[in-house]
Amino acid sequence: MPRLRLPVQDFGMAERVINVDPGVTWDPGYGGELLQCADDGTARLAIPGYGTDSHVRCVVLTWDQALAFTAGWPNDEAIAGHRLWSMGLADVDLVGEVLDSQWVADLELRNRVHPNHRPARFAALHHFIVPLKEVTAEVVAPAMAVARVRAADPVKALAKPAHT
């Protein structure tokens, strides 16, 4: 099957990152987070408890109907090298949202070859970014849910049903 080559495009958008208050806190310098992604479009990020919640409750961020997700470099020591650093990522406390995301625009462009392509589906998507100790997690999804889960560590937190 021939490989589809799409042109690299400048989407003419001014990407920017805004701070999102998740309504809970955690220590972004602690580490030990776990990102779980399923083929049904669910992405869950479990983060160890913080302060008085340490070893009692983890924070679990859940994205249903996630279209894309990644977790990898840069880590906290190299985050200033992230392409979005000077576009507002530097001001993100725990979670950011990338407005006018080139990633979302690129996903929409690539999907145009699908016979049932609906541009409106992509207009409703949000690009979330979560800088962590060892990785930076990024997810494209319609929304993000936040919960505290009674679990001693992220592995146990993700073993529990979503939205608990």
> What confidence tens digit (pLDDT) does each residue in 76-123 have?
999 999 999 999 999 999 999 999 999 999 999 999 999 999 988 899
Biggest CA–CA distance in the chain, Å, is 56
Residue 5 lies in a domain: no
Go through the chain and tell me how many residues it has. 164
Model confidence over 114-164: pLDDT tens digits? 999 998 889 999 999 999 999 999 999 999 999 999 888 899 999 977 554
Cα separation, 126 vs 18, whole angstroms: 12
Cα separation, 58 vs 45, whole angstroms: 10
Asked whether the beta carbons of 45 and 33 are under 8 A apart, the reply is: yes
Asked whether the beta carbons of 14 and 100 are under 8 A apart, the reply is: yes
pTM value is 0.86
Listed in sequence order, the residues at least 6 apart from 52 whose beta carbon sits closer than 8 Å to its beta carbon are none
Residue 108 lies in a domain: yes
Question: What range does the domain containing 143 cover?
Answer: 16-158
Residue 8 lies in a domain: no
Reference 20, options 92, 104, 83; nearest CA is 92
Residue 3 lies in a domain: no
Number of domains in the chain: 1
Residue 7 lies in a domain: no
Asked whether the beta carbons of 47 and 55 are under 8 A apart, the reply is: no
